[in-house]
Structure 1
Amino acid sequence: MPVEKIDTLVVGAGQAGIALSEHLGSHGVPFLVLEKNRIAEAWRTSRWDALVTNGPVWHDRFPNLEFNGNAPDEFVGKDRVADYIEEYAEMVKAPVRTGVEVLKAKPIEDRAGFHVTTTQGDIEATRIVIATGAFQHPVIPPVVPQTADVAQLHSAQYRNPDQLDDGAVLVVGAGSSGAQIADELNRAGRKVFLSVGPHDRPPRRYRGRDFVWWLGVLGLWDMAAQEPGTEHVTISVSGAYGGQTMDFRRLASEGVTLVGRTESFTDGIMHFADDVRKNVDAGDQNYAQMLDAADAYVTSMGLDLPPDPEARQTWPDPQSLIDPIHDLDLKEMGITTIIWATGFKQDFSWLKVDAFDDKGAPIHQRGVSKEPGVYFLGLPWQSRRGSTFLWGVWHDAKFIADQIAIQRAYADYHGEAAIVLSAAE
């Protein structure tokens, strides 16, 4: 079978691969997108049933296509997002092949380019863009043995309360996924324990504006790098139930029991760090700082945005903060399920190039790898805080496409332009 040849091969047809398709097409770059499942598969099958976007659709979208049929301030469901990405792929005529998995990619020995092995044959590409996203492989910490008498699943495997065995639930992780799942289970009548780690906690709306607007006008979406020590701090925010501020004291008042970071498990007992108050207080401080920054902006710009004193009212301390739980007997508390909202890891083992650090993370500058011809797209903080959002990945994709176009132009140069004839000739 002859080897197929292409200038640029894009691996992954999620939001990153589809955004890049628009920009590569605009530059006239010959390219192909391979997707092992369906377009936007992760949105359809790696999210729980009731998930909605964390931002309103006037903001969380690609610049050139609105969510037609949805109100601008609406938080849409996961299937609507997947449909939207498919609509965009059709609009930009993205050359996507679905059901094709890339098994290995390695440099061609005697010339530029890469030999790519797929489930449907081999491809040679001059350049390769890894657009497989930030959420590849769910991570469950090896804390509780699989032999323990409790069901364990990752938040990516959770679908709805009816999926779980009867009984109480321990949710580990208080980022957006963990907090929303805990809220959903509590509303469904389950007894819920929520393990809370360090987090940021922005207001959903303040003075008539959504927090995504405030991050925009305050320049926080375009922060080019994380502050030292904040690399793994999660953000707890929700668009569920019409959009509301994720307040852990409120959740506790509604029945959720808060505990600290999960540390260890012995003889049926889960052990937690003595930090639940510190983590909740730090989240509250982050919340207050956001309100202060918003108020200062309103004053400096002379905006007519109404004061919002209710936003600064606080819920009373729940018992789980007054008398923190450090040890939890799962059987005694009737806990039959642990949901680990503990993030994901990336796997680039199929890419046989010298482009990673000792932890396996890509070495890159705004997605441009240290390995010539290799690019990454859809990484957290690839160029800014908003890099993993639809609009953020669109801008990162434009930069990557521009770099590819520049390299193609250099490759077309053969030296003639450097010959300057003297006046005498």
Structure 2
Amino acid sequence: MTPTPRHVPVAIVGGGQAGLSVSYHLTQAGIEHLVFEARTAAHTWATQRWDTFCLVTPNWQCDLPGHPYDGPDPDGFMRKEEIVAYLAAFAAKVNPPIREGVTVRRAEPLAAGGFSVRTSDGDYTADEIVVASGGYHTPIIPRMAERLPSSVMQIHSNQYRNPGQLPEGDVLVVGSGQSGAQIAEDLHLAGRRVHLAVGDAPRCARFYRGRDVVTWLADMGYYEMSVDDHPLRDGVRDNTNHYVTGRDGGRDIDLRRFATEGMRLYGVLDGFEDGCLRFRDNLRSSLDQADRTYNGINAAIDKHIASRGIEAPAQAHYAPVWEPEAPVTSLALAGSGIAAIVWCIGFRPDFSWLDASVFNGAGRPKHSRGVTVQPGLSFIGLPWLHTWGSGRFGAVGRDAEHIARVIQKRLGADRFALRFAV
């Protein structure tokens, strides 16, 4: 006889900071729920970050529900072990009804309303599902990787921990977003010879005119701008993050300066043919565009300072310290000295376990601040779900509060609050 599925009003899929934030607000509203986490709460910060990883936004922006940063360095940048401790303390405060080690294998709408939820630990039904598993699921490694010789070690950025795990020799880092630029720097500072295939990621200053750029942008209201008010609208969700670092108290990442110190820069890696790595002839334009963004952000800060009569030290705009010479579009792998490749070209979303007509052609959910057209289905923790901070510690709590209010209204949750009070 097939066991009757257990019913839970709200199923939260994912036990990271987003899922825990929703759990916090549902608990405040007295709404019964379960959090399903395939591994352990907030595990990715401990298991999928390199040893010297740190935040790129100041600690004061960490403001999870009921758990703002209260450490000794609000203008600093938490290191990996501090982030893990911060999240462990948050999980302890929330004390969520979490099922760790339980994978949601399939979820689909029921004809009578609500959802069927099949897990590795039995079947459930739910009135509401909140997908809090983020959007970074499947590491992207191009098909060309299959043709590379087995003598070259290949890992993805989520597997990189430190230079010592890689074999002796040169290292090719593919991609110059936040992970790629910071991993390239980590290797470079360790004395490794680095080859970096540069992408189209923009960059920004760490500090400008006496303050952290994030602090200036917060004062300018940038982090309160919703996706609906952004000039790019939904397109901003596809933007690559600016590269910068909070390492050693925070600094710019300047790929041109790395080049003067021996790092070899190339354009986008396009393929591998006849034993040669093939690169696009776009290194100069990529560096120039990154610098235009850098100086453009600083110019916006200048305008803000001038319009409000703020006293701030003058600072010149960035001028390039290195220019590429003749482009290198082909590099024989055998003679390059490259012993390892770190792929830093991102992730694909994988919501294949969820049967719902809410996804676009790229497999990303369509929603309005996380709420989809499928009754009872919401998402949280995605980049630019509502504002820039939606995928970060800064604003995910506000998104969680919004989702919880929508759920409370849909469930008529006064009945839950009454039952919990008895």
Superposed pair shares fold, TM > 0.5 = yes
Q: Which residue of 2 aligns with 1:421?
A: none
CA distance 1:100–1:278, shift in 2 (3 Å):
same
Given candidates 405, 408, 411, the residue that maps to 2:411 is 408
Asked if the contact 2:63–2:395 (Cα under 8 Å) also holds between the matched residues in 1, the reply is no
**One-letter identity of the residue aligned with 2:369:** R
CA distance 1:255–1:20, shift in 2 (3 Å):
same
**One-letter identity of the residue aligned with 2:213:** F
Given candidates 308, 313, 319, the residue that maps to 1:314 is 319
Q: Aligned equivalents of 2:64 and 2:325: distance in 1?
A: 45
Q: Aligned equivalents of 1:410 and 1:28: distance in 2?
A: 8
Taking only the aligned residue pairs, the percentage that are identical comes to 39
Q: Which residue of 1 aligns with 2:113?
A: 112
How far residue 233 of structure 1 moved from its aligned partner, in angstroms, is 3.2
**One-letter identity of the residue aligned with 1:168:** D
Q: Which has the higher helix share?
A: 2
| Aligned pairs (5 A) from 1:250-269 | 250-269=257-276
Q: Which residue of 2 aligns with 1:287?
A: 294
**One-letter identity of the residue aligned with 1:342:** I
Indicate yes or no: 2:305 matched with 1:303: no
Given candidates 4, 7, 15, the residue that maps to 2:6 is 4
Indicate yes or no: 2:142 matched with 1:137: no
Q: Under a length normalisation based on structure 2, what TM-score does the superposition of the two structures give?
A: 0.92
Given candidates 391, 394, 399, the residue that maps to 1:391 is 394
Aligned residue for 2:302, secondary structure, equals helix
Q: Aligned equivalents of 2:412 and 2:127: distance in 1?
A: 14
Asked if the contact 2:204–2:293 (Cα under 8 Å) also holds between the matched residues in 1, the reply is yes
Q: Which residue of 2 aligns with 1:366?
A: 369
Aligned residue for 1:202, secondary structure, equals coil
CA distance 1:384–1:24, shift in 2 (3 Å):
same
CA shift digits 1:376-396 (9 cap, x unpaired): 111111112221111121121
**One-letter identity of the residue aligned with 1:276:** L
Q: Aligned equivalents of 2:407 and 2:265: distance in 1?
A: 49
| Aligned pairs (5 A) from 1:156-175 | 156-175=158-177
How far residue 249 of structure 1 moved from its aligned partner, in angstroms, is 1.1
Greater Cα shift, 220-229 or 152-161: 220-229
**One-letter identity of the residue aligned with 1:112:** G
Q: Aligned equivalents of 2:293 and 2:346: distance in 1?
A: 22
Given candidates 284, 292, 295, the residue that maps to 1:277 is 284
Q: Which residue of 2 aligns with 1:206?
A: 208
Indicate yes or no: 2:129 matched with 1:124: no
Asked if the contact 2:381–2:396 (Cα under 8 Å) also holds between the matched residues in 1, the reply is yes
How far residue 89 of structure 1 moved from its aligned partner, in angstroms, is 2.1
Asked if the contact 1:179–1:246 (Cα under 8 Å) also holds between the matched residues in 2, the reply is yes
Q: Which residue of 2 aligns with 1:193?
A: 195
Asked if the contact 1:367–1:377 (Cα under 8 Å) also holds between the matched residues in 2, the reply is yes
**One-letter identity of the residue aligned with 1:254:** E
Structure 1's unaligned 5+ residue stretches are 413-425
Greater Cα shift, 266-275 or 349-358: 349-358
Aligned residue for 1:38, secondary structure, equals coil
Greater Cα shift, 83-92 or 167-176: 83-92
How far residue 359 of structure 1 moved from its aligned partner, in angstroms, is 2.9
Superposition RMSD in Å: 1.9
Given candidates 71, 81, 84, the residue that maps to 2:83 is 81
How far residue 234 of structure 1 moved from its aligned partner, in angstroms, is 3.3
Q: Under a length normalisation based on structure 1, what TM-score does the superposition of the two structures give?
A: 0.91
Q: Aligned equivalents of 1:214 and 1:191: distance in 2?
A: 36
How far residue 322 of structure 1 moved from its aligned partner, in angstroms, is 2.0
Q: Which residue of 1 aligns with 2:356?
A: 353
